Amino acid sequence: MSVIAMKFGGTSVGDAEKIRAAARRAVNAHKKGHQVVVVVSAMGKSTDQLVALAEQITPNPPKREMDQLLATGEQVTISLMAMALEEMGVEAISFTAGQIGIVTDDVHTKARIKRIDVRRIRDALENGRVVIAAGFQGVTESGAITTLGRGGSNVTLVALAAALNAEVCENYTDVDGIYTADPRLVPTARKLDRISYDEMLELSSLGASVLHNRAVEFAKKYNVPIHVRSSLNNRKGTMIVAETEDMERIVVSGAALKDRLARITLREVPDRPGVAAKVFHTMATNRIVVDDIIQTTDESGRATVSFTVEPGDLPEARAVVDKLRDDMGCKALYEDHLAKVSVVGVGMRVHTGVAERMFEALAAAGINIENITTSEIKLSCLIDRDQGAKAMQLVHDAFDLGEGGRKTRVPKSAKAGRKKKSSPKAGRAKAAKKSPKRKSKSKKK
Amino acid sequence: MSVIAMKFGGTSVGDAEKIRAAARRAVNAHKKGHQVVVVVSAMGKSTDQLVALAEQITPNPPKREMDQLLATGEQVTISLMAMALEEMGVEAISFTAGQIGIVTDDVHTKARIKRIDVRRIRDALENGRVVIAAGFQGVTESGAITTLGRGGSNVTLVALAAALNAEVCENYTDVDGIYTADPRLVPTARKLDRISYDEMLELSSLGASVLHNRAVEFAKKYNVPIHVRSSLNNRKGTMIVAETEDMERIVVSGAALKDRLARITLREVPDRPGVAAKVFHTMATNRIVVDDIIQTTDESGRATVSFTVEPGDLPEARAVVDKLRDDMGCKALYEDHLAKVSVVGVGMRVHTGVAERMFEALAAAGINIENITTSEIKLSCLIDRDQGAKAMQLVHDAFDLGEGGRKTRVPKSAKAGRKKKSSPKAGRAKAAKKSPKRKSKSKKK
């Protein structure tokens, strides 16, 4: 019998009515003859409320106790969800992470799963029960409760789906799927039918917040396809899947904006081995997260090292860098009014012309590019923060990503250029139907 | 090193400030060199809120899931309490019942403790940590969470104190201790310095709600003295202890009122073996809790069986009894406007005159006694409900229980009569000081 794993995020279990709605999905899958495992997050804002409680006690709660506290959020939801299923006449049983043995390391607040003993889940499923599992939490070898960090419930979903060899792994959330861009920024953004793990990883780290990277990494590692979809309707969402050759026909799948970045530039740095290492070692020991790094060397043999940080970290980073600057006898420059616009697509691996088109689009609008960074499937431009939203729309249009348009496609054989989909009209109608929230008013093509 | 076990009820951990106040008590005991175990209940009304959540899902939640849900209440408190201690610079560690292995049977919502494995607690204590344990909950052999029913946190306290051979077992609550009567009913009620387990058991079942019977039974079984005291001040409360010969000098320790009772009387019942059994078997199978039972037989060989129930159960009991009446060909009488006033004291075992004094006091005020029931250390009178409060005050006065007075005492050798305490004035002053909430205005003597 096939196993279906489904997960409902906090907003999808925010009150009794939503819990019942989620339970109905599980009941339907159960009645179709599937073995059903449901992973749930804490209800709505309840995790925030628990954090606020802890903050009333101490600004620095011990992490072990924070995990002990936060894990109650999911425990409340699993029991209520099991009750809802029983009320609908379907036998259900809830399990905390400790009860099913989701064993993690002991790095509290961001533990990693070491193994899952699925015997108890299997037994319950074999007995015809729907299993409700607490997301986000784990248990150490010695029985302490851990939590898996941001996006942890999705990690639980993917880990359970992998361990149970689930046929489908459904991630019910409050959005319809993964979009070509954040629809709040780009009204013409279009929901993607599918996206590769790597593209999703790049989009997540660029600011798309639907799925946290750790869950996607886990899914990629165990090749678990994730269906990201809305808990409010029955439409198909976005499948996050292993890359296929076919995907390379799409040059750019999506665009993302990190709208608040600060940049630190060290000039006239002695170009000796170990200097860059010293800079970033110092950042790491001061727990300052560094985003992109660029290093160039001029003719005199002195280097320019430039990197971006969160604006909130800038004052602390500045203190550290000022000292480095004095030690090394170089110059330092600080800017805190930047943003980063990026495009992502596995097609970049085989297609040229992406950078050119992006730069042209920005230049035509008079947007200055401060820095350029790339990966195999990503191209990012650092720009002025005030121009972030405009740049997103321009790039989105330039790559024809929007609703009414489609992703930039090329014939399978070609290495560059574009080709319209065979039936653009049908494609358009389908896309519009799938995203009823936004009206297809601005067909900019 | 001596172990101190202390427990804080829901109102004593109702918010962050109260949690800090409770933590300070633990810190103080720790700094005095004790090994400290703190048992906590769920914060304030949080259990009620969880029950309300469940009720939004279903009117009949599965008990296993209800326990899974309710146990989160104590889990929140233990983690916050541990945080508060750490914030005060004392190492602490919180444990759920599952984490310390408070193993119970699998009777969900009213499980009984089978054993406690104190190794983990001992280890933490030996390492200088204060241990914070979740009250009210347990875990079955197979890892399901159970709860211990009403008063369950006190059961946890006593069980841990017994298992750890604790020197002191302190029950911090929102009252100053055990009183000679409910101070809301009897303004002159006085806090007792000590009371025997058996007296406490009688008082609890008669309506005094400070400590649930199961905790007292447990304490009696393992001879754990419980100190019931206020979390709002540092005054001594009431010690609940094993009976000593000395206690028998006090004839009456306290009085209690059950202010709402209904009575069912079956008359002309055939006095055959098994008839009473049939009546109460029928009550039990219909889950109607029966209070006191009286049976008398008249000269014709027919019996009168009379028993009391909660007024809320009367309609259901009536339906059952009507059928019994028809089956047995007897008469049935229903009354729902009764109350029961009782006095309790281990001294009754050896002293006479208690009944006489109680009946005189009630008769002098024109209060009719409908029924009398007794145990070795208790005397109860069923009266009209409207006269309940008045009767309490009369009986309280008759046995000189009040503030400004003292418990009725007799010389150790005498079997009846009274003798004033050697220093009534000092006693009075002390009693008044201990109960600052109530003004010693009505010294009725």
B417 pLDDT more than 60:
no
- Write the CA distances from A281 to A25, A304, B130, integer angstroms: 49, 17, 38
The helix/strand/coil state of B248 is helix
Contact state of A72 with B68 under an 8 Å Cβ cutoff? no
What are the backbone angles phi and psi of residue B119, rounded to the nearest 5°? Answer: -55, -45
B435 pLDDT more than 50:
no
Edge to edge, what strands does the sheet with B371-375 contain?
B290-297, B302-309, B254-270, B331-344, B378-384, B371-375
What structural domains does chain B harbor? 3-174 (3.40.1160.10), 255-434 (3.30.2130.10)
A341's enclosing H/E stretch is strand A331-344
Work out the pLDDT band at B415, boundaries 50, 70, 90. very low
Contact state of B64 with A99 under an 8 Å Cβ cutoff? no
Give A436 or A5, the one with higher predicted confidence: A5
Q: pLDDT per residue over A49-70, tens digit each?
A: 999 999 999 999 999 999 999 9
Q: pLDDT per residue over B27-39, tens digit each?
A: 999 999 999 999 9
B301 pLDDT more than 90:
no
Mean pLDDT value across residues B89-101:
97
The number of residues making up chain A comes to 445
Q: Which residues of B touch A75 (CB under 8 A)?
A: 68-69, 71-72, 75
Query: Residues A437, A439, A444, A445: is their CA dihedral positive or negative?
Result: positive
Q: pLDDT per residue over B28-84, tens digit each?
A: 999 999 999 999 999 999 999 999 999 999 999 999 999 999 999 999 999 999 999
Is B304 in contact with B269 (CB distance < 8 Å)?
yes
Helix H segments across A191-331? 197-205, 213-222, 275-285, 314-328
Work out the pLDDT band at B209, boundaries 50, 70, 90. low
**Does residue A62 sit at the B interface (CB-CB below 8 Å)?**
yes
What are the backbone angles phi and psi of residue A36, rounded to the nearest 5°? Answer: -120, 130
Tokens of B139: 């875990």
Contact state of B144 with A56 under an 8 Å Cβ cutoff? no
- Inter-helix orientation angle B213-222/B152-163, to 10°: 10
Which pairing describes strands B92-95 and B130-134: parallel, antiparallel, or unpaired? parallel
pLDDT at A207: 62
Q: pLDDT per residue over A122-132, tens digit each?
A: 999 999 999 99
The number of residues making up chain B comes to 445
**Does residue A98 sit at the B interface (CB-CB below 8 Å)?**
yes
Q: pLDDT per residue over A256-297, tens digit each?
A: 999 899 999 999 888 777 777 888 888 888 888 888 888 888
Mean pLDDT value across residues A330-348:
92
Mean pLDDT value across residues A4-9:
96
Contact state of A83 with B16 under an 8 Å Cβ cutoff? no
Tokens of B102: 């408070």
Mean pLDDT value across residues A198-217:
81
B429 pLDDT more than 70:
no
**Does residue A61 sit at the B interface (CB-CB below 8 Å)?**
yes
Minimal CA separation from B285 to chain A, in Å: 26
Minimal CA separation from A5 to chain B, in Å: 21
Cα angle A328, A329, A332; round to 5: 95
Give the bridge partners for B130, in sequence order: B92
> What residues contact B315, with CB distance under 8 A and at least 6 apart?
none
The helix/strand/coil state of B61 is coil
- Write the CA distances from A437 to A181, A194, B395, integer angstroms: 15, 20, 74
Q: What is the pTM of this model?
A: 0.80
Contact state of B143 with A79 under an 8 Å Cβ cutoff? no
Secondary structure (DSSP) of A299-337: TTSEEEEEEEE-GGGHHHHHHHHHHHHHHHT-EEEEEEE
Q: Give the span between the Cα atoms of B77 and B83, in whole angstroms.
A: 10
Is B8 in contact with B41 (CB distance < 8 Å)?
yes
User: Which candidate, B252, B81, B254, places its Cα nearest to that of B177?
Assistant: B254
Contact state of B54 with A98 under an 8 Å Cβ cutoff? no
Contact state of A68 with B75 under an 8 Å Cβ cutoff? yes
> What residues contact B206, with CB distance under 8 A and at least 6 apart?
B256, B257, B258, B340, B342, B344, B378, B380
Q: pLDDT per residue over A63-102, tens digit each?
A: 999 999 999 999 999 999 999 999 999 999 999 999 999 9
A426 pLDDT more than 60:
no
Secondary structure (DSSP) of B277-326: HHHHHHHHHTTPPEEEEEEEE-TTSEEEEEEEE-GGGHHHHHHHHHHHHH
What are the backbone angles phi and psi of residue B185, rounded to the nearest 5°? Answer: -90, -40
In chain B, what percentage of residues exceed pLDDT 90? 64
Residue of A nearest to B20 (CA): A57
Among B99-113, B205-219, B281-295, where is mean pLDDT lowest? B205-219
Contact state of B72 with A72 under an 8 Å Cβ cutoff? yes
Tokens of B208: 């005094």
Q: Give the span between the Cα atoms of B433 and B429, in whole angstroms.
A: 6
Which pairing describes strands A145-147 and A113-116: parallel, antiparallel, or unpaired? unpaired
Residue of B nearest to A70 (CA): B76
- Write the CA distances from A382 to A342, A379, A385, A399, A443, integer angstroms: 9, 10, 9, 18, 28
Counted across chains A and B, CB pairs separated by less than 8 A come out at: 109
Which pairing describes strands B168-173 and B3-8: parallel, antiparallel, or unpaired? parallel
Q: pLDDT per residue over B363-396, tens digit each?
A: 999 999 988 988 889 999 999 999 999 999 999 9
Q: Write down the residue that tokens 């007075």 correspond to.
A: B405
The helix/strand/coil state of B412 is coil
Helices (H) and strands (E) in chain B, counts: 13, 18
Q: How far apart are the first and last CA of chain A?
A: 48
Annotate A37-69 with b (16+ C-beta within 10 A) or e (fewer).
bbbbbbbbebbeebeebbeebbeebbbbbbbbb
pLDDT at A175: 87
Give the bridge partners for B443, in sequence order: none
User: Which candidate, B94, B138, B72, B40, places its Cα nearest to that of A134?
Assistant: B72
Is A42 in contact with A76 (CB distance < 8 Å)?
yes
pLDDT at B412: 43
Which of A2-6, A312-316, A346-350, B302-306 has the largest mean confidence?
Answer: A2-6
**Complex ipTM tops 0.90:** no
Dihedral Cα A324, A327, A328, A332, nearest 10 deg: 40
